Amino acid sequence: MRMPSHRTLALSALLLAGTAASAAPEQVHYALIVASNTGTEPSQAPLRYADDDGARYYELFAPRSREVVLLSVLDAETQALHPGLAAKTRAPTHAALWEALARLNGRMAEDRAKGAVPVLSFVFVGHGKRGAAGEGSVSLLDGPLTRTELYAKVLAPNKASFLQLIVDACDSYFFVHSRGALPVGPAYADAVKGLLGNRELERFPQVGVVLSTSSEQESHEWSAIRSGVFSHMVRSALSGAGDVNGDGRVDYAELRAFVAAASQGMADVRGQPRVFIQPPALDRAFALTNLGDAASLGYLLVPTGVAGRLWVEDARGIRVVELHKERERPLVVSLPVGRGYYLRASGREASFAITRASEVVDVGGLRWSDATVAARGAVQDAMRDKLFSVPFGPRFYRGYMASLGITPSSDEADAVLVP
Amino acid sequence: MSPSASLLLMLLRVSAPCDAQTRVALLPFERLALPSEDARELEDATRRAVAALPDACLESREDTVARLRGSGAALAACGDAECRSAQASALGVRRLVRGVALGVGGKRSVALTVTDARGPETRAQFEAPATTPGEADARARQALQQVWSPLVTTQAVRESREPRGSRVLPKVLWGAGGVALLAGVGFGVAARSTESKLSKNGGECATAGEAFADCFASRLDAGRRQARTSNVLLGVGALLGLGGAVSFVWELP
């Protein structure tokens, strides 16, 4: 009998590989963002930037998602910064939420029927509290969204193969604009625990959770970034700054380490963000974002050799991404297309533009000049100095994971160089 | 140029030693959001494009990796062009080519940095669709051509191709002179032979009878022509020999 030649075997292997690759299910992304400045209790002072956070989450998810729903009432400043977005939003009410969920569930059911893997990112930014009976809730415009409703009406009927729950809600949400007297109410950490009982969460292994369990003492809005600090960190990480191993995917462990590094220097600042981040039990290596996916985004390449605290502001003055990079490896962050940007570092800046999808701008080729923008005020100085003061990269990641006793599921931190 | 031709050219160049003026090292690519197989494919395409550049003597990947290991693992991460330029000098190469292979946004691309040990640093990028074979090579060539200034001047190229002291001209002159001298000697011997024959009772003309005078005069003319040709050739040979000596001295390094 004639044995198959090496060429035949190689061809067969290639065909098999191609078949396997083409058989990999496609991920389809959706996002539902609820952002409300308003609290349901008189003690909850209105937030300033929850609507801004909602708008920015919208800009983060829109280029990589099939559909993004934003439930928010944007204030005048936010509407001016995001022209046209208000027309796409609906008020953050229960009715609007159920309607949006029903529509998205319908689309995701169709995706599953076609063999795709629908992924829903459910984001809430606003006030949170714990009721007298110990049940946690977050504030919608027309009343609280309780834990019972979350499980019964959001998680249980959800058709997503994976659901990413991101909650940045705190009843002491201010930092820069502190009102002096601290808000009265239960600790937000308790509210979170009340909102998500761990035992109940175990029934939903497809759900990953990213929660700000910040101190109840102070809040974390920062006027310099017109955003909540925690959400700013999360968006920065998901833009690519959290990709520690260069595989283009930001998983839950990387996000957790990124937030820890970004906030580590704030130990002496009231209200250091504390987080509860848990990957889906079904796939603990599941990525919150994948830079390799096709998307109408541009990319900023920060090469090896460039180190330190860097942030990107767009032409509107919005700080889009912030990071503190270790020197020894390159990094890439995604940015919306069709805008001018400033890359800023301590005392200097460089301008650039992203004009088309998939465009890569190399930081090494930018022309730096002395910075023309200065921060204002002592509190701003404190935030400026403390946030992102610790470099984030493989060294921090390994140490952080070791301190937690966690073995990273995808530790490829040394695999950046092509073997 | 086809990849195979480029590879052949590269192999030929690798077999010849590179000098510090033209030696180029391409460091193993870094990669972001791209499997190592794809990144290696893009690196190889870039390597072929560098090897095809007319004045670049590309070091093999194995040699580069060995030298990097020998110098204590990877190069330190430089933050500016001056530092990277110093690295090129320390490695004994004229240019260092670095690259980051990216797989962002569903596309493959490469960001290149070319660092000259003596000159400025330049950057280039190219996209490389995975679906079109050979496209990466063409894109890499195109990108490099935009930023690759000649390593040496035209004069230097001529000098490197026809190095001073190769002494081609003196050899040619001496060779031609030697041939002329030999021919001159030959004609001289023939003229002497004609003369000696005619001196012995007219040689072949002795039996010519009434045509003796014409025959004798004809042979005499032939002998004279041979003698004249011999003298000219000897003179030319001497001049060529002298020219060869002068050019030899002129081309001394």
Residue A418 to residue B31, Cβ atoms within 8 A: yes
Which of A22, A239, A418 to mutate to probe the B interface, most B CBs <10 Å?
Answer: A418
Domain of residue B177, residue span:
168-250
Domain(s) labelled CATH 2.60.40 in chain A stretch across: 297-394
Taking CA atoms, what residue in B is nearest to A419?
B36
CB contact under 8 A, B39 and A418: yes
What strand order describes the sheet that includes A27-35? A67-72, A27-35, A117-126, A162-169, A207-212, A275-278
Question: Residue A380 has what pLDDT?
Answer: 54
**Do residues B29 and B106 both lie within one domain?**
yes
Of A295, A31, A252, A24, nearest to A163 (Cα)?
Answer: A31
Residues of A with CB under 8 A from a CB of B: 243, 246-249, 290-295, 297, 299, 301, 303-307, 327-332, 334, 357-358, 360, 362, 364-365, 415-419
Of residues A39 and B34, the one with the higher pLDDT is B34
Residue that finishes a domain, picked among B143, B161, B179 = B161
Residues of B in contact with A304 (CB under 8 A): 30, 77
The residue out of B161, B186, B213 marking a domain boundary is B161
CA distances from A38 to A42, A68, A100 (A): 10, 22, 20
Question: A26-219: which CATH topology?
Answer: Rossmann fold (3.40.50)
**Does B36 contact chain A (CB < 8 Å)?**
yes
With a pLDDT cut of 90, the percent of chain B lying above it is: 38
C-alpha torsion angle, residues B174, B176, B178, B184 (rounded to 10): -150
- Return the structure tokens found at B250: 């002129």
A-chain residue closest to B65, CA distance? A419
Q: Which residues of chain A have pLDDT under 50?
A: 1-22, 171-187, 215-219, 268, 375-378, 413-415
Instruction: Give how far B91 is from chain A: nearest CA, Å.
Output: 18
- Which amino acid belongs to residue A266? M
The larger pLDDT score, comparing residue A292 to residue B214, is at A292
* Dist. CA A204–CA A2, nearest whole Å: 54
What is the β-pairing status of strands A308-314 and A275-278? unpaired
Residue with tokens 């998901």: A238
Verify that B154 and B177 share a domain, yes or no: no
Cα atoms in the Cβ-side hemisphere of radius 13 Å centred on A309: 14
Which amino acid is residue B64, in one-letter code?
T
Residues B112 and B183 in one domain: no
- DSSP characters for A93-150? -HHHHHHHHHHHHHHHHHHHHTT-EEEEEEEEEE-EEE-TTS-EEEEETTEEEEHHHI
Residues of chain A with CATH 3.40.50: 26-219
Of B31, B78, B104, the CB nearest to A305: B78
Confidence at B16, pLDDT banded by 50, 70, 90 = low
Give the chain B residue whose CA is nearest to the CA of A331: B32
CB atoms B31 and A292 under 8 Å = no
| Residue of B106, B111, B125 lying closest to A292 (CB–CB) | B106
Number of domains in chain B: 2
Do A191 and A244 meet the contact criterion of CB atoms below 8 Å apart?
A: no
Q: What is the pLDDT of residues B48-75, one digit of tens each?
A: 999 999 888 999 999 888 887 776 655 6
User: Cα(A19)–Cα(A23) distance, rounded to whole angstroms?
Assistant: 6
- pLDDT for B251 equals 67
Using an 8 Å Cβ cutoff, are A71 and A89 in contact? yes
- Residue B158, classified by CB atoms within 10 Å of its CB into exposed (0-12), middle (13-18) or buried (19+), is exposed
Examine the domain organization and report whether B81 and B105 are in the same domain.
yes
B95 and B124 in a common domain: yes
Last residue of a domain, one of B161, B176, B200: B161
Q: Which of A243, A294, A365 sits opposite B105 (nearest CB)?
A: A294
| Per-residue confidence (pLDDT) for residue B50, from 0 to 100 | 94
The pTM for the full model equals 0.75
Torsion of CA A301, A305, A309, A315, to 10 degrees: -30
Per-residue tokens: A347: 């005392």
Q: What per-residue confidence (pLDDT) applies to B20?
A: 80
Q: Are residues B78 and B175 in the same domain?
A: no
Residues B33 and B102 in one domain: yes
pLDDT recorded at residue B200: 76
Judge if B9 and B85 occupy the same domain: yes
* 8 Å CB contact of B30 and A329: yes
Pairs of CB atoms within 8 A across A/B? 109
Burial (CB count <10 Å: 0-12, 13-18, 19+), residue A129 = buried
- pLDDT tens digits, residue range B222-247? 888 889 999 999 999 999 999 888 88
Tell which CATH architecture fits domain A297-394.
Sandwich (2.60)
Mutate to test the interface with A, among B61, B62, B98, B100 (most CBs of A within 10 A): B100
| Residue B222: predicted pLDDT | 86
Q: What is the mean pLDDT of residues B75-103?
A: 88
Given the cut 0.85, state whether the ipTM is greater than it: no
The mean predicted confidence, pLDDT, of chain B is 82
| Percent helix / strand / coil, chain B, rounded to 5 | 60, 15, 25
Q: Are residues B190 and B238 in the same domain?
A: yes
B45 CB burial (10 A radius; 0-12, 13-18, 19+): buried
Between B161 and A372, the higher pLDDT residue: A372
Residue A400 pLDDT: 85
pLDDT at B13 over 70: no
Other beta carbons within 10 angstroms of residue A5's beta carbon come to 9
Residues of B in Cβ contact (< 8 Å) with A292? 33-34, 103-106
Look at the block and give the residue holding tokens 């940045």. A168
Shortest Cα–Cα distance, A245 to chain B (Å) = 9
> How far is CA B39 from each of CA A24, A327, A382, B34, B122, rounded to the nearest angstrom?
21, 21, 42, 6, 21
Is the four-CA dihedral A262, A263, A266, A269 of positive or negative sign? Answer: positive
